[in-house]
Amino acid sequence: MFNLNDNLKNKKFLIYGYGKSGHASYNYLKKNNKISIYDDNKKIKKSFISLKKIKSTEFNYIVLSPGIDINKSRLKNYLKKNKKKIITDLDIFHLNNPNNLKITITGTNGKSTTAKLLFKILKDQNKDVKLVGNIGIPILSKNKIKSSTIFVIEASSYQIDYSQYFKTDYAFILNISPDHLERHKSIQKYTHAKFKLILNQNKNFYAFVENNKYLNRQIKKYKIRSKIIKINKNDNKIKKLISNSYFDNINNLKNLSFILRFAKVYKLNKSKLLKTVNLFKGLDFRQQVIYKNKFVTIVNDSKSTSFSSSVNLLKSYKNIYWILGGLAKKGDKLELPSKYYKNIKGYIFGKDKNFFKKKLNNKITSRSYSNLENILKKIAKEIKLNKNKHSHILFSPSAASFDKFKNFEDRGHYFNHLIKKIKFIKKVNV
């Protein structure tokens, strides 16, 4: 187990939010501190402190879970009044493990895939490395930590925004596009939350940032002490040695660019790196090729929850049957160059069909359907009649899944289930 920093011993903590990270924080802190727990979800079977008791108790720290939106919280005024006491599991970890090497990855899209690939690369190079964070493994759940242990951390804007003390040796900002605006309210505030990751760095740290006009303006705007390395998707010759078709996809290639530049700075073994990269299969439901024959390629990208997460996928293929829809994100825009429009047919499903129909209007030929199964039956018929060229079925919803599914994984599994029922497909890789 970890040895708590003296600053975090014998203190009163309020843990607000008892999901995965809140539970891990409780287990981590309970031995040496007095812990109170609160969650807005009354279905969680745990003895929570009352709202009245919270307001009458003097806490040293408030550990806020990423899922808590202060502005929508039942403790809105209390939290704003005690803002200086708010910390996260990232803060706790850093305060107790300041010398462990940390590589933290954020961005609107591609975080999980990039973190997983980097973790595998470091592991294959015999590094003592742990993968944690927004990928579903709370950072405070890990033990058996040595001084040499490296942490690859996937961090959401929510985690970074609430953190006060967390510092990372290497920061990746993969990309920024409008997302989570229902919480951050503006792209500027969303960007600032992401940039806190590098604003807390010192001059000996590195920040890898996508090279584009918007992010370049943000870099000039802030006083950044760390070493900034701007990443272009074609700035590394080693890519010529990549034989894995997984990286033919523009998004995956961009993610790889960050890792290759990091590898150069960190001086990783080139031959071992290439071996890992060429064997990498990706993560489920993230631009995942689940089936391919001479007539059709099927991609399950259920993780896609906004237009920005689908755009590069749409640029990567030809003769596309694009399946999209679900719960739309307010203010979301399809920023796809017009030269790609004729290459795509849209098939819309889910609650916000009208929203997506309107966004594709006069751009991409589209039609709405009552459900996914009807869409796939329609596409199957069209492909059967059009075997003279290779087709691509892209399940990239560009929307949240909660209208009909528990989460994007549930949606992805259901799509795979339906694919198995399509008669012209003999065997599916799911």
Q: Which amino acid is at 92?
A: I
Phi and psi, residue 348, nearest 5° = -105, 135
What 3-state DSSP class applies to 106?
strand
Rounded to whole angstroms, how far apart are CA atoms 63 and 16?
6
Residues 169 and 254 in one domain: yes
DSSP 41-53: -TTS-S-PPPHHH
Rounded Cα distance between 426 and 384, Å, is 14
Residues 134 and 215: their CA atoms lie apart, in Å, by 23
Q: What is the mean pLDDT of each run of 10 residues along the chain (430 residues)?
A: 65 93 94 92 76 93 89 88 94 95 93 95 97 92 93 92 94 79 66 88 94 86 91 68 83 90 95 94 90 89 92 91 94 90 96 95 92 94 81 95 94 94 57
Q: Are residues 306 and 225 both part of a single domain? A: no
- Shared domain for 115 and 237, answered yes or no, is yes
Asked if 128 contacts 134 with a C-beta cutoff of 8 angstroms, the reply is no
CATH no. for residue 132? 3.40.1190.10
110 and 192, same structural domain?
Answer: yes
- CATH number, position 80: 3.40.50.720
How large is the C-alpha radius of gyration of the chain?
A: 23
What's the whole-model pTM score? 0.85
What pLDDT shows up at residue 1? 37
Same domain, yes or no, for 228 and 259? yes
Question: 184 with 242, same domain?
Answer: yes
Residue 426 is assigned to a structural domain of this protein: no
User: 300 and 244, same structural domain?
Assistant: no
Where a domain ends, among 232, 259, 279? 279
Q: Quick check: is 245 in a domain? A: yes
Residue 138: the pLDDT is 94
Residue 136 belongs to what domain range? 97-279
In the chain, the number of structural domains is 3
54 lies in the same domain as 116: no
409 by Cβ neighbours in 10 Å (0-12 / 13-18 / 19+) ranks as middle
Q: Which of 115, 150, 162, 121 minimizes the C-alpha distance to 134?
A: 115
Q: How far apart are CA 338 and CA 393, in angstroms?
A: 20
- Mark which of 87, 109, 144 sits at the end of a domain: 87
